[in-house]
Amino acid sequence: MSSCCGGVPDKQRLLEVIQDNAAQIRKSFLLDGEEFFVTFSAGIALFPDHGRDFQSLIRNADLALVTAKQRGKSQIVLFDSALEKRVLRQIEITNLLHSAIPNGEIEVFYQPIMSMHLDRITSVEALIRWHHPTQGFIPPLDFIPIAEMSEMIHDLTWFVIERCFRQRSAWEEIGIHLDISINLSTKVLVSPDFLPRLSQLLTETGADPHRFAFEITESVLVDSPESTVGLLKKTKQLGFRLDLDDFGSGYSSLTYLYALPIDVVKLDRGFIKNLDRKGKGLKMMESIIRLAHGMDMLVVSEGVEDTEQLSLVKAWGSDFVQGFLFAKPMPGDQIPDFLEKNDLQLSF
């Protein structure tokens, strides 16, 4: 429901009235023995603060409603100008994204990952890059969440997967044997065509699944629980490795470590950056890594930018390190030069 109101003296009172109405509407009912739920979202715009005519009030109430729905079920959102800016940017990005792949604006960059045991680069993470002709570089975090709200995440993800499969074969031909990790949105994983399409692409490209990992986040369990674990297991049966990305950001729970069939834990950059370097913080990191090792998982430390951080993650027992200290993400055709210059990769 989007509502625009005139002459309401007290915003708080208005919210209370809407919340009362919502409580009346949010009811469950039985139909043929099955329980159904009615949800209620509202966007509110007030006269005169949010518009002086009917059309602008309706438009702004609608923008607030879009935000309410994005925040999840049953939210009530009051319009404000920051919200307007954000929603309009989302709409703009959604429109621009439609032509991004066909116009050749999307690329895949690769960031080297260093093995602490072998002292060389053994894999790379594939990271999407969008260069718009007039808007310039648009960071993934500005458009991936928006793509995830629409169907566009599917096209973007399959574009990246196919590029990675082909890129690895191209590297193989010149004697570079790197594994590639690919970020996978839950929405793509749970789509019914994920496994068949993946198998088909493996056949078409001749890619070896054992040389690829999918990076998933804890949201797989939040967004869609048990059935997802089955899907992840089937993905592993095809030969892919599974990495748990961004561990330590958000509401990480140790539960995820045993609930998900993962091989590698990637410790989040923020975790490493903000950690108290003595006492409890240090002990906690060591314990998490020991726990992961005890569960036969390997650990990647993300976002290592200086040698002090490197010594820390080494001391904790991290198996791999990824960060600007070694390399920023780069186009696939720069990887051979990078490896040669840094003498960081040997064929095996």
Q: Does 269 bind ligand C2E (CB under 6 A)?
A: yes
Which of 245, 298, 339, 345 forms a contact with ligand C2E (CB under 6 A)?
Answer: 245
Residues 286-305, one symbol each (x = binds Mg ion by CB under 5 A, - = not), give ----------------x---
At closest approach, how far in Å is the CB of 213 from ligand C2E? 12
Q: Of 2, 90, 183, 186, which one interacts with Mg ion (CB under 5 A)?
A: 183
Question: Which of ligand C2E, Mg ion, none binds 209 (CB below 5-8 Å, type-dependent)?
Answer: none
- Say if residues 322 and 343 touch (Cβ distance below 8 Å): no
For the CB of residue 25, give the shortest distance to ligand C2E in the complex, in Å: 35
281 binds, among Mg ion, ligand C2E, none (CB under 5 to 8 A by kind): none
Give which of Mg ion, ligand C2E, none residue 141 binds (C-beta under 5 to 8 Å, depending on kind): ligand C2E
Task: Give the footprint of ligand C2E on residues 89-118 (CB under 6 A).
Answer: 111
> Cβ distance 295 to 258 under 8 Å?
yes
Residue 344 interaction partner, one of ligand C2E, Mg ion, none, beta carbon < 5-8 Å per kind: none
CB burial of residue 35 (10 Å; 0-12, 13-18, 19+) = exposed
Rule CB under 5 A: choose which of 148, 215, 218, 319 binds Mg ion: 215
- Cβ–Cβ under 8 Å, residues 216 and 189: yes
Is residue 60 part of the contact set for Mg ion (CB under 5 A)?
no
Residues 285-302 as b/e (b if ≥16 CB within 10 A, e otherwise) read: beebbeebeeeebbbbbb
Q: What share of the chain is helix, strand, coil (3-state, %, to 5)?
A: 45, 20, 30
Which residue number, 111 or 345, has a Cβ lying nearer to Mg ion?
A: 111
Structure token digits, residue 208: 């070896």
Residue 51 φ/ψ region, left for φ over 0, alpha for ψ in the -120 to 50 degree band, beta for the rest:
left
Closer Cβ to ligand C2E, 123 or 183, answer by number: 183
| 246 binding Mg ion? (CB under 5 A) | yes
Residue 48: which of Mg ion, ligand C2E, none does it interact with, CB under 5 to 8 A by kind?
none
DSSP per-residue letters across 225-246: -HHHHHHHHHHHHTT-EEEEEE
141 belongs to the binding site for ligand C2E (CB under 6 A): yes
Site string for ligand C2E, 290-319 (x = CB under 6 A): ------------xxxx--------------
What is the rounded distance in angstroms from the CA atom of residue 259 to the CA atom of residue 257?
A: 6
Member of 245, 323, 335, 345 binding Mg ion (CB under 5 A):
245
Which residue do the tokens 């310039």 mark?
136
Phi, psi of 245, deg, nearest 5: -85, 155
How many residues at the interface with ligand C2E, by CB under 6 A?
23
Residue 47 three-state SS: coil
Instruction: Rule CB under 6 A: say whether 322 interacts with ligand C2E.
Output: yes
303 binds, among ligand C2E, Mg ion, none (CB under 5 to 8 A by kind): ligand C2E
Q: What is the 3-state secondary structure (H, E, C) of 6-34?
A: CCCCCHHHHHHHHHHHHHHHCCEEEECCE
- Of 75 and 322, the one with the shorter C-beta distance to ligand C2E is 322
Residue 180, both tokens: 């590639």
Residue 167's binding partner among ligand C2E, Mg ion, none (Cβ under 5 to 8 angstroms by kind) is none
HEC secondary structure over 60-87:
HHHHHHHHHHHCCCCCEEECCHHHHHHH
Residues within the interface to Mg ion (CB under 5 A): 183, 215, 245-246, 302
Residues within the interface to ligand C2E (CB under 6 A): 111, 127-128, 139-141, 144, 157, 160, 183, 185, 215, 245-246, 269, 302-305, 322-324, 329
